[in-house]
A and B are shown apart, each in its own frame.
Chain A
Amino acid sequence: MTRYSAFTLFREGLRGHKGWPQAWRSPAPKPEYDAIVIGGGGHGLATAYYLANNHKITKVAVLEKGWLGGGNTGRNTTVIRSNYFYPESAALYDFGVKLYEGLSRDLNYNIMFSQRGMIVTAHSEHDMEMAARQTNAMRLNGVDAELLDRDQVLKRIPLANTRPDCRHPIHGGVLQPRAGTGRHDAVAWGLARAADARGVDIIQNCEVTGFITEAGRCVGVETSLGPIRAGVIGAATAGHSSVIAQMAGLQLPITSYALQAFVSEPLKPVMDTVWLAPPFGTYFSQSDKGGLVIGGGLDRVPSYGQRGNLPMQETVLAGLSEMVPALAKVKLLRHWAGIVDVTPDSSPIIGPSGLDGLYLNCGWGTGGFKSIPAGGWLLAHLMATGTHHDLSRPFDLTRFPTGRLIDEGAASGIAH
């Protein structure tokens, strides 16, 4: 692997960039691996990377039915945060943020984690009480958080609506300074390059069509490129987790929904933070390229169609116009949708699947991107050791029969 650095970039610039090697290979699948990861998105690639890096298991294949990073990893609004209420969630997501903080250097690939902070605004007295509850929870969970008053919010978001006719005037908010955005594709590519460099085979255009089981244990997969056997299998197939589960004869507590995202034409910097205004159902930030990156809630119709629907567009974009009236005149460039796994408690599922030899990392809902390194780390741990990491144990499927749901929405009113 040629190291990326200012120096190599300078050198290659002088010679027309002819010396850069492939970021990853395109190998043909081998008949057997020590471990197979289904899904070449962020979580799958991170799993393979950490299997190789943390557990020295390098005979690993990542099977991707399309192009790597083409699922939700390449379709999200790039927010990275850990502003969670419950200790279990906070520990999990903050682990993700911490891994992100070092990820560019770990991978030798600039994933542009921009810790510009995220503000969740409060718009009423009741919101402020909940904001206090949230801020205190975060701080007790060891996550950075500040409770902002109205002026402090407006200082950070000068364009915010302060007109007297604003339906939901800003009262204050919760700031997580370490939250921010990352370059989503770069996360997938950086992980792919680093995993590949450690010997992992990343096999694109290889669709898993079934599981090979022997004596009740999963020992391999059927794919569009033929059967591949493996010692252990992990699935990280957000949006399609139920499809994979059906192949294994399982049902998951997951419903798939389309989640839309929007980007505007590029603008000179107008917005320095990530802002979620819950009563408007909208959040946005500004990318380094200058586009406003806008997101909101789920479409209301369960869907595997990777395209958005007008009612939610109206809600989200109207929300943005209300949050910052000056942006109403900005033009929308593109909108698209990803398919997300939604669990009853909006928390992920990490753990054994119910089929021996098959582990799951799914159910991240709208929050998968921020957890890519954490999800990969934990699935790799499970696959390598056969046991839970302490951070993933609460997120096992057994929480459903025991009733031990981790329902952030129920507790804190925080949108996922």
Chain B
Amino acid sequence: MKVTGSAVLHAPRDRVWAALTDPEVLVRTLPGCQQLEQVGPDYYKATVYAGVASIKGLFSGEVKLSDRIEPDSFVMHASGAGGPGTVSADVQVRLAEVDGASTRLDYDADAVIGGMIGGVGQRMLTGVAKRTAEEFFTAVDDVLLGRAELAAPAVGVPGVTGAPIEIAAEGERPVYTAPPRARPATSVATVLGSAVVGALIALAGVLIGWLIAR
């Protein structure tokens, strides 16, 4: 499925660029992302605890960044597979200055959702993707605005934020582990356009939404 969307992030373009290509940021903003393992330059293996409501599960895949034209654009390739389905996506991301304080992000994704989920999940996929996209952009924006710590109490689970990201070296490969966190409150205001669909999220395997790959 082809999906496009855009969002406004409240930081200058170079900071947005830095955040989106920083595994330390990604690991704490990608919905459900538990671990990013760097296996090469701009190449990560991801472990994602993905899902909707209490239907959730562990999912593993990989993420590559390419075609980096800093600070204008890059392409993300994401793929992964679980028992009930597969997901792969190429996401073209473009950043444009809105003003000195904010950046408009546009993305074009070509996502392939295969397996059982592709055949029976149609009714729900875009809705779930959109919800997850909002979550992701809000989380990134929170990081950019330095209010990441503020997000968690909003959903009322105490004591799960503010923990440092753990970086452990496993052989040569840095491994980024997300701190425990609650789901950030989403803010639709940061997402533009009626057809915003979170294909970006495909890289987190979250398009599988309600999959559980046990």
Q: Do A and B come from one complex?
A: no
Residues of A within 8 A of B (CB): none
